[in-house]
Structure 1
Amino acid sequence: MADVPERPRSRSSSQVTLDDVARVSGVSAITVSRALRGARNVAPDLQARVQAAVDELGYVPNVAARALASARSSHVAVLVPSLTNQLFVELLEAVQNALAPHGFQSLIGVTHYDPAQEEALLRSYLSQRPAGVLLTGFDRSAASLRMLERSHAPCVHLMETSAEPGIHSVGFSQQDAGRAIVQHLLARGRRRIAYAAGQLDPRVMLRLEGYREALRAAGCHDPELELLVPGPTSMALGGRQFEDLLARHPDVDAIFYCNDDLAQGALLAALRTGVPVPGRVAIAGFNDLGGSDQMLPPLTTVRTPRQEIGERAASMLLALMRKETVAERTVDLGFELMVRQSS
């Protein structure tokens, strides 16, 4: 039987390895590995040669093998409560933009404000040995805390700050921000100030504490003016809350909404029902979401630094993953009061 000549293997039928990239780029396999991880000690010209070889060969790193070899993957677990809130979309975008140039990709999990869902996500993601973890806030189950501790994965908390030893966090004081917006309304002569909220996650409740502190200090806090709804926030809910508050408490002269979508809905309801804003009632929101400055009238609100929080938290996590010293464990980026015509 005649020998059958061996058919040349196409690139798609062969597996390109790290050694292939090293051979084509003319550098060592170790240098290729460092370049692909975004290590700082790889010269720009070597980085360019490695990338050119990767592009030419169509090389795709074997993440599973790398994780086995190093006991860590090139992924970072990022858990946020919602993707329907523009706030967290902007936060994730900033995190991803900061991590990607260093060879890390985000494993995004949505907890829907449910500690049990967060626990399930952490159990799944931590089993993949992520290089690090970014978490929203501090409200989580005891089981989640145990898993995080035993994983030994570097972890940074977002949107809130903590002075507890060993905790790394980037955010601002939700309570101080809530107090500041109410103090603004008080300075404008408002005394019957309501708080309208949805979702009721820990950050919303911290804003409520700031609201209460400001009104108690002014001697005009009334628990009857707190309208707290556990469901998700929306413009429709904000409109219903606006009409409900004015129907039940005709003397209300200002409403602080826990999120801008609620306040935007309230402004639309005021237009629809002919209630003058701010002449009859002042309206204030929180987060300075897109469109708030275009409402009629433009919405007074609190601008929160979510993009900078994402960038600074990712930078802190990168340092922790490299086992570098972090100068500040707690970074408070503050907030900005955006005073517009609605108040």
Structure 2
Amino acid sequence: MKVAKQSSDKKLTLIDVAVAAGVSAITVSRVINQPEKVSEALRQQVQKAIDMLGYIPNQYASSLASSKSKVIGVSIPSLSNVVFTDVLRGVYDVMGTAGYKVLLVDTHYSPLEEEKMIRTLLSQSPEGLIITGGDQTRTCHNLLQKSRVPVVQIMELLNEPLDMNIGFSHWQAGYDVVTHLMEEGYERIGFIAARMDPRAQQRMLGFKKALENAGKSWKNFIVTTPEPSSIAVGGELFKSLLASTDGTVDAVFCVNDDLALGALFESQRMNINVPGDLAICGFNDIEASRFVNPSLTSVQVNRYEMGVKAAEMIIDRLNGKMDQPKVVDMGYQIKRRQSSTNR
């Protein structure tokens, strides 16, 4: 293999790699952009030269030449929330294997920030987009439609998705949690929630409907806050729920596990027996739910699998597979544990 002499301030080029590898510049370009069209031996020969020289391909130029950016945009409302971390692992695992790069943005649960971030993603000429939920602004909605790239909306089932959709019914999950608690003999069921994004609101609506259908009132049994969720906030909301119900509540459905853990720890500080005097159910089934004492009943969602499937839906569309389902219901499961089932 030939090694071209480089001055310390000269930027490496495709031609330098070609000289080092003893092949044409066209061959190097094909190895970088269309590796499936060259032999394994040739790929290794060129890759050896790339590694030796420390050459970094100009992906922008490559995308202009091929009209393909190999970029997938992903928009989520929180980088710190473990719920979305699990989804992202699934997306990255599939996209990385398929040779795509993931460009990630955080919208901070703000539709206006999401609109801004979608503009940023579209400016990078992505080949597909994965976005969270269906509460985009009208302007954002129009941007996505006019982009003409495959779009998958994740985390919830939508009545009118923009393109493709994968998720589950938060309304039905909320309804089913109340049904489970009533089947266990609990009658005065409360609800606590924070931030109140659209998915939390759907869980609350399911909670209300289940109680209404059972002839029970939810007045004074709902306590919410616009603050972000945390264990500390869960404890405070739980105390507020006890106050608003004069301590008559005998079960509480928490919109996520952070709040449920806060309610559990606060009930223990107040010497309230769980589940004898109080049932607690969370949502998302984070790892801690299984290891606290008593273990926490929670709604389990296959988040990693959702990320995998969303990525596969994009790739299938890019590969011309138009017969795939456009809406996928991932479902959920209520993991019944000690906090609600050993009364």
Taking structure 2 as the reference length, the TM-score comes to 0.89
CA shift at 1:18, angstroms?
A: 7.6
Say if 1:150 and 1:271 are closer, same or farther in 2 by CA, change over 3 A: same
CA shift at 1:98, angstroms?
A: 1.2
Say if 1:284 and 1:45 are closer, same or farther in 2 by CA, change over 3 A: farther
**2:200 is matched with which residue: 188, 200, 204?**
204
**2:218 is matched with which residue: 206, 215, 222?**
222
**1:284 is matched with which residue: 267, 281, 284?**
281
The farther-off stretch of 157-166 and 267-276 is 157-166
Say if 1:46 and 1:253 are closer, same or farther in 2 by CA, change over 3 A: farther
Q: What is the aligned partner in structure 1 of residue 107 from structure 2?
A: 111
CA shift at 1:19, angstroms?
A: 8.5
**1:308 is matched with which residue: 289, 292, 305?**
305
Q: What is the aligned partner in structure 2 of residue 190 from structure 1?
A: 186
Alignment size in residue pairs: 334
Q: Which 5+ residue runs of structure 2 have no aligned equivalent?
A: none
Q: Which 5+ residue runs of structure 1 have no aligned equivalent?
A: 1-6
Say if 1:22 and 1:10 are closer, same or farther in 2 by CA, change over 3 A: closer
Tell me if structure 2 keeps the 8 A contact 1:257–1:286.
yes
Q: Deviations over 1:288-324 (max 9, x none)?
A: 0121111121100001111000000011111222333
Q: What is the aligned partner in structure 1 of residue 88 from structure 2?
A: 92
What amino acid sits opposite 1:239 in the alignment?
Answer: G
Q: What is the aligned partner in structure 1 of residue 254 from structure 2?
A: 257
CA shift at 1:50, angstroms?
A: 5.2
Q: What is the aligned partner in structure 2 of residue 124 from structure 1?
A: 120
- Matches of 1:269 and 1:178, distance apart in 2: 23
User: What is the correspondence of 1:1-343 to structure 2 with a 5 Å cutoff?
Assistant: 8-10=5-7, 13-17=10-14, 20=17, 24=21, 28-29=27-28, 31-35=30-34, 51-162=47-158, 164=160, 167-249=163-245, 250-343=247-340
CA shift at 1:67, angstroms?
A: 2.9
CA shift at 1:212, angstroms?
A: 1.6
Tell me if structure 2 keeps the 8 A contact 1:242–1:266.
yes
- Matches of 2:133 and 2:258, distance apart in 1: 21
Say if 1:316 and 1:283 are closer, same or farther in 2 by CA, change over 3 A: same
CA shift at 1:191, angstroms?
A: 1.2
Q: Deviations over 1:194-250 (max 9, x none)?
A: 111111111111111211221122111323211121111110110011111112211
Taking structure 1 as the reference length, the TM-score comes to 0.89
CA shift at 1:271, angstroms?
A: 1.4
Tell me if structure 1 keeps the 8 A contact 2:73–2:128.
yes
Q: Deviations over 1:99-128 (max 9, x none)?
A: 112221211111111001001111122111
- Matches of 1:33 and 1:295, distance apart in 2: 50
What amino acid sits opposite 1:220 in the alignment?
Answer: K
Tell me if structure 1 keeps the 8 A contact 2:145–2:162.
no
